[in-house]
Structure 1
Amino acid sequence: MSSVPLSFEQLGSYSPMDFLTPHYRQQLHASLQYLQRPAGTLLLHKGERSLAQYYLLSGKVAVDAGPARQTFEGGSPQAHMPLNGSQPNPATVKALTDVSLFAVEHQLLERLLGWSQEAAYQVSSLGGMVEEQADEDWLARLLGTPLFGRLAPSHLHALLARFDYVEVEAGQRVVSYGEPGEHFYVIKRGRASISLPSAYSEQPALTLGEGEFFGEEALISGAVRSASVTMLEAGELARLHREDFVELVRPTLIPQISRNELARLSQQGSRKYLLLDVRLALEYRLGHQPESLNLPVANLRTHADSLDRDTSYVVTPEGGIRSELAVHLLNQLGFDAYLLGEQPPLAA
């Protein structure tokens, strides 16, 4: 069986990846998951929903859609189409030989296709005084972040229409530690420095550039600013008011997964997952969900290097706002994280 990952060029021969712009195809290429299954494995069940879209790389499968049954092999024209291009799965698929496949998250593919189709319109709608290419640069970087990676294209267009743009000078402090959060910011042009309180002096200084953002944590948690941000050079910021952020962005920052979806993910075996309880240790000891690991939200950043990036992290909801903030922080750090729905009783 073939276990060699697809090249960026090879990915373009699969449908509908050929419709993606190079930038979004590269983003999809980095997210591909590769699987190998032995002969006789039932790969897909007709009528069930899958979190991913699957493609056959090598081996032979049988596709049974009900009135018709067909077989095909990796490398054939049929193999360049998805085994389950729609939801629920349109057919039952069984491996007739050992097979290699690759998987693409359904929602990610749909978003990237939408962005590819609407990119030109979105950029032209921004207006402003800078050239279109500069708009594309900062916007492309913004869309590539975990924060905006979950935003539907139509939602994104509404969001961009509500940004206002402010010129800033070198040395200007944009937000200050301890003050209420009123705006979310994206750097459209220039660079900024994040400075933490003296208690966190051991943390390295962080510099933000074009397409990077700040100010969202205070708007998610309702707390005051946790750091100060100062411009290192003159530039321009895209700014979104709190009410618009809460309406348009905040719901997408906290992706949720139900217990049924979690069970399907576990059965498919395509990705490991770990339950996280982000409350304090004392709260955790008083009652927690079975099999959950305690990692207080305050320790997420300092313990990020010890977390496995091939694991999906499902945060239990008992922490309330802290649980929501933890999901956002994990996704911002590049992990795959969700808030668990359908809360059951706690186990003491």
Structure 2
Amino acid sequence: MYVSAQRLRSFIPLQGLMNESLALLAQYAKVSRLKQDTILFKIGDHSPYSYLLLDGEIEISTKKGTATILRSDHEDALYPIGNLVPRQVNAKIASTEAILVRLDRNLLEKELTWGQIDYNQDMPALCKLSGLPQDNQEWIQALLHTPIFFRLPMSNIQLLFKRFREISYAKNEVIIREGDPGDSYFIIRSGTCKVVRNNFGNEIVLGRMEAPEGFGEQALIAEQPRNATVVMETSGSLMSLAKKDFISLMQAPLQKRVQLSKAMKWVHAQRGRLLDVRSETEFNRGHLAEARNIPLYLLYLKSTVFAARRHYIVYCDSGARSEAAAFLLTKKGFDSYVLDKAAENLAMLR
């Protein structure tokens, strides 16, 4: 089941959010049809979710045993149900069935925070932190709503803007070269870049990028040489971030891990996909059941047809390629996880 961004806008305090923010929340929302007496949460719980009632009735009870019924057509149902943490009330389904939206609390709180930013005051401050002129506010606003920055803590974002270094490039100038070691991550501020790879002397164009897209993470995370060349197709400028700052402020805070048992539950329920990002040769020597082989270098292209509302669990034999794959998928807006203890699970196949 799916909830539209427009439907989310009918709830408080989501009604003031930007269309892009609501669309992102809708993408990760889970809509469930629950039976009578299903428990949502109990007093004292630290649930990571916020619940919105679309249809039906919820019984809300307090520590003193006082119970009230929340109906979907009542004005109180415009607010998240018992949203204090730890929970101060018990909540369970009272009607024969009820339809609810479950939102990730951290994601919701982050977007509500962004929604309250005073762009007349806060954007100039971020421009000042990064040394950018005031006319870059539109670029900063677009950057903050990319899947990566959307998920980062505000403290990390402030530090990132302090660490950014702006570099200007001429048309046809090479930014990174295939085979070179990686020492920086880049975010396009202006201009267009093309990604090319050498194939026995022939240049193959893999794609094009524009502001505020970022690139260069694979060499930094996987400790591998650059796997492609990026060239300025027009003149423009990029924000450069040193490897250590990228790892500590961007990659590490976003990495999520999951055990194989939970990952397989998602896969069997058609809510997840297990991806082996090793080479085809490595995959054929032994792989986990239900896994699909998409080598890391192909993942960017293959992910264009991925379904949005799934969990993507990636693995390799050492963790380096899977961490790079997870960041790439997160950057593209997917819910990605690194499979925990993948090497141990692979060893059991040999």
Name the TM-score class by shorter chain: 0.7 to 0.9
1:57 alignment partner in structure 2: 54
Contact kept in structure 2, 1:179 and 1:224, CA below 8 Å = yes
Q: 1:278 to 1:175 in 2, by over 3 A?
A: closer
Q: Which of 78, 81, 86 is the equivalent residue of 1:80?
A: 78
Distance (Å, rounded) in 1 between the aligned partners of 2:98 and 2:196:
51
2:209 alignment partner in structure 1: 208
Q: Which moved more, 1:306-315 or 1:318-327?
A: 306-315
**Mapping of residues 132-281 of structure 1, within 5 Å:** 132=135, 135-198=136-199, 205-257=206-258, 262=262, 272-279=271-278
SS at match of 1:126: helix
Distance (Å, rounded) in 1 between the aligned partners of 2:336 and 2:19:
26
Q: Which of 92, 95, 98 is the equivalent residue of 1:94?
A: 92
Structure 1 residue 131 displacement after superposition: 3.9
Distance (Å, rounded) in 1 between the aligned partners of 2:201 and 2:147:
25
Structure 1 residue 286 displacement after superposition: 7.2
Structure 1 residue 194 displacement after superposition: 1.3
Instruction: Specify the code of the residue in structure 2 equivalent to 1:69.
Output: A
Cα distance per residue 1:292-316 (max 9 Å; x no partner): 5252533534543664432212335
Contact kept in structure 2, 1:126 and 1:161, CA below 8 Å = no
Structure 1 residue 72 displacement after superposition: 1.0
Q: 1:306 to 1:244 in 2, by over 3 A?
A: closer
Instruction: Specify the code of the residue in structure 2 equivalent to 1:250.
Output: Q
Q: Return the TM-score normalized by structure 1.
A: 0.81
Structure 1 residue 159 displacement after superposition: 0.7
Distance (Å, rounded) in 1 between the aligned partners of 2:218 and 2:196:
15
Distance (Å, rounded) in 1 between the aligned partners of 2:317 and 2:2:
42
Q: 1:88 to 1:161 in 2, by over 3 A?
A: same
Structure 1 residue 45 displacement after superposition: 4.2
SS at match of 1:327: helix
Instruction: Specify the code of the residue in structure 2 equivalent to 1:56.
Output: L
Instruction: Specify the code of the residue in structure 1 equivalent to 2:56.
Output: G
Instruction: Specify the code of the residue in structure 2 equivalent to 1:114.
Output: T
Q: Which of 31, 46, 49 is the equivalent residue of 1:34?
A: 31
CA RMSD of aligned residues (A): 3.4
Cα distance per residue 1:140-162 (max 9 Å; x no partner): 33233333232111211111111
Q: 1:342 to 1:71 in 2, by over 3 A?
A: farther
Instruction: Specify the code of the residue in structure 2 equivalent to 1:243.
Output: K
Distance (Å, rounded) in 1 between the aligned partners of 2:322 and 2:132:
40
**Mapping of residues 97-136 of structure 1, within 5 Å:** 97=95, 98-118=97-117, 120=119, 121-127=122-128, 128=131, 130-132=133-135, 135-136=136-137
Q: Return the TM-score normalized by structure 2.
A: 0.81
Structure 1 unmatched runs, 5+: none
Cα distance per residue 1:257-296 (max 9 Å; x no partner): 4679x49x96xx8x8234444445676677766x552525
Contact kept in structure 2, 1:140 and 1:211, CA below 8 Å = no
Q: Which moved more, 1:245-254 or 1:309-318?
A: 309-318
Q: 1:253 to 1:5 in 2, by over 3 A?
A: closer
Contact kept in structure 1, 2:179 and 2:228, CA below 8 Å = yes
Contact kept in structure 2, 1:41 and 1:95, CA below 8 Å = yes
Identical columns (%)? 25
Cα distance per residue 1:84-110 (max 9 Å; x no partner): 524454433222222122222222112
Cα distance per residue 1:18-59 (max 9 Å; x no partner): 454555344334443322223333333444444431100111
Q: Is 1:319 matched with 2:325?
A: no
